[in-house]
């Protein structure tokens, strides 16, 4: 280890920054965040530092660096483009035993400034010892996705309960077990989803009846249309923390591979020639697993609240008193539209967009055609392949031109995405003569014309 990692207290202490440009401003930002009293030495200041000077956030010595400025400083950062000055700052600091960092010059540094993930009071720092700041930044970006934004709040709540928990559990091992349950279970999730008050009440309750913490919970998570890159941070985190994953057909293999390695996987989708697990059984399964104390990730394609029957699943959970949360996601219409270069609305062509299911509960395609068949609006049919003939006929019968453009997007956002373009008159035949693989989405409206110009996804 080339450097000793530590976090340094500089609140209300003098810190010196030599240099007045934008790099200096970035360093000053960090120092101010940590509560330092910053003095900037530079004959001139860039716009950011000049503004902070005007707002009295920093002191300014409008001169060149000279050694006596170093006295009493808690730390020094130099970022001038004059090597002789950088060298002089380094030497003076070392002589006075004051930590010094010369930006982009590891040889002149007695400390390095890490890349940080700031969830104050939680701060994670990454350093490559100056070897590659870019690599440190990439590692930081990965950690950013894994450390929820709510960790700061969680830490503050933990701090507030520290005394009470110590009083309740005199044995340190019991305390540790208690905190482990709180910090990674349903109570932590309450904090992450903005329900701090409820979390505090739950901790109080758990302190009285400590089994309460072992109750499981259900995450109803949208997995997006297929491309794993389109997952949300929260979806990924919950997929990696759940004990059980309950998934269905629409969740892609690549996304399943991102789930926790040792999680139990329960597939409830339709197998070829077989039926899917009935909805009521899925609802009951989720309740049972949560009651067993498990963290259950119910993973669904697209967004759980758009033709995903998410409402029915949480209805049962709410009735049975099981803790749950819903994680929204990119719905197939958004994914298909972006990846096929078909904006769903456009000032020149479409002022409204309607999402509709082409498949009614009883298997018919019986829609309010008068409301759907309008120019200047885009209609996206989910589950519409079976009813495509009826859809095209009815849209024409209710006033749309047979030349109204139609796109069928197969397996949107996946490597097997294909876009078929036609119009209301030709689309049924195009589909009959092609080998179409589900899932598919049908987009009707003038915006489809933009596909040729705007598509960027190779298909």
Residue 430 C-beta: closest distance to ligand SAH, Å: 16
- Chain-centroid distance of CA 28 in Å reads 29
114 part of the interface to ligand SAH, by CB under 6 A: no
| Separation CA 373–CA 378 (nearest Å) | 9
332 part of the interface to ligand SAH, by CB under 6 A: yes
Residue whose entry in the numeric block shows the structure tokens 């739950």: 202
Stretch of 70-78, 103-111, 174-182, 299-307 lying at the interface with ligand SAH (CB under 6 A): 299-307
Stretch of 127-135, 275-283, 300-308, 397-405 lying at the interface with ligand SAH (CB under 6 A): 300-308
State how beta strands 244-247 and 295-300 pair: parallel
Taking the least distance from each CB to ligand SAH, the nearer of 92 and 331 is 331
Residue 344 C-beta: closest distance to ligand SAH, Å: 13
| Separation CA 434–CA 291 (nearest Å) | 48
307 part of the interface to ligand SAH, by CB under 6 A: yes
Residue 325 to residues 189, 212, 306, 398, 433: CA-CA distances in angstroms?
8, 18, 16, 41, 44
Using CB under 6 A as the binding criterion, the count of chain residues that bind ligand SAH stands at 22
Single residue of 216, 226, 405, 445 touching ligand SAH by CB under 6 A: 226
The contact mask relative to ligand SAH for 344-383 (x = CB under 6 A, - = no) is --------------------------------------xx
Residue 311 C-beta: closest distance to ligand SAH, Å: 11
Residues 6+ apart with CB under 8 A from 233: 144, 145, 148
Contact in structure between 112 and 127 (CB atoms under 8 Å):
yes
* Residue 31: other Cβ atoms inside 10 A: 21
- 177: exposed, middle or buried (Cβ count in 10 Å: 0-12, 13-18, 19+): middle
Stretch of 48-56, 145-153, 209-217, 302-310 lying at the interface with ligand SAH (CB under 6 A): 302-310
Residue 254 C-beta: closest distance to ligand SAH, Å: 12
Q: First vs last Cα of the chain: how many Å apart?
A: 49
Residues 150-179 that bind ligand SAH (CB under 6 A): none
Taking the least distance from each CB to ligand SAH, the nearer of 161 and 382 is 382
Taking the least distance from each CB to ligand SAH, the nearer of 120 and 279 is 279
State how beta strands 217-222 and 75-78 pair: unpaired
| Separation CA 146–CA 46 (nearest Å) | 36
Which residues of 361-437 form beta strands (DSSP E)? Answer: 377-382, 405-410, 418-423
Q: Is 270 an annotated catalytic residue?
A: yes
Interface residues with ligand SAH (CB under 6 A) are: 225-226, 250, 300-303, 306-308, 331-332, 336, 382-383, 409, 411-413, 439-441
The catalytic site residues sit at 248, 270
């Amino acid at each position: 280890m080339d450097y000793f990692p530590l976090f340094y207290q500089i609140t209300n202490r003098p810190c010196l920054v030599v240099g007045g440009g934008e790099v200096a401003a970035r360093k000053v930002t960090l120092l101010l965040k940590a509560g330092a009293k910053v003095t900037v030495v530079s004959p001139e200041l860039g716009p950011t530092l000049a503004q902070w000077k005007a707002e009295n956030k920093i002191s300014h010595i409008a001169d060149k660096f000279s050694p006596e400025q170093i006295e009493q400083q808690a730390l020094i950062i130099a970022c001038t483009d004059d090597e002789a000055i950088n060298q002089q700052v380094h030497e003076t600091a070392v002589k006075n035993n004051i930590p010094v960092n010369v930006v982009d010059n590891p040889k002149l540094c007695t400390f390095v400034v890490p890349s940080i993930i700031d969830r104050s009071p939680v701060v994670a720092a990454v350093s490559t010892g100056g070897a590659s700041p870019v690599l440190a930044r990439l590692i930081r970006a990965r950690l950013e996705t894994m450390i929820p934004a709510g960790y700061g709040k969680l830490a503050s709540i933990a701090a507030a309960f520290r005394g009470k928990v110590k009083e309740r559990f005199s044995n340190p091992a019991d305390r540790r077990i208690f905190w482990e349950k709180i910090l990674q279970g349903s109570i932590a999730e309450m904090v992450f989803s903005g329900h701090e008050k409820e979390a505090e009440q739950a901790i109080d309750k758990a302190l009285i009846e400590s089994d309460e913490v072992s109750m499981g919970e259900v995450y109803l998570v949208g997995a997006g249309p297929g491309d794993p890159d389109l997952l949300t941070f929260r979806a990924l985190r919950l997929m990696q923390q759940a004990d059980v994953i309950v998934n269905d057909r629409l969740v892609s293999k690549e996304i399943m591979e991102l789930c926790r390695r040792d999680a139990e996987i329960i597939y409830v989708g339709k197998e070829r020639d077989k039926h899917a697990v009935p909805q009521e059984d899925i609802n009951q399964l989720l309740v049972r697993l949560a009651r067993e104390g498990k963290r259950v990730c119910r993973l669904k394609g697209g967004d759980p609240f758009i033709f995903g029957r998410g409402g029915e699943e949480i209805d049962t959970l709410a009735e049975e008193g099981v803790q749950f949360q819903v994680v929204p996601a990119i719905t197939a219409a958004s994914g298909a539209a972006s990846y096929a270069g078909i904006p769903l609305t456009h000032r020149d062509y479409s002022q409204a967009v309607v999402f509709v299911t082409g498949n009614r509960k009883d298997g018919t395609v019986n829609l309010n055609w008068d409301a759907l068949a309008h120019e200047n609006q885009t209609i996206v049919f989910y589950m519409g392949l079976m009813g495509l003939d009826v859809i095209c006929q009815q849209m024409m019968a209710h006033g749309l031109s047979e030349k109204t453009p139609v796109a069928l997007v197969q397996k949107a956002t996946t490597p097997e995405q294909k876009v078929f373009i036609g119009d209301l008159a030709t689309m049924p035949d195009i589909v009959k003569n092609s080998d179409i693989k589900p899932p598919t989405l049908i987009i009707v409206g003038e915006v489809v014309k933009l596909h040729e110009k705007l598509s960027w996804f190779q298909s």
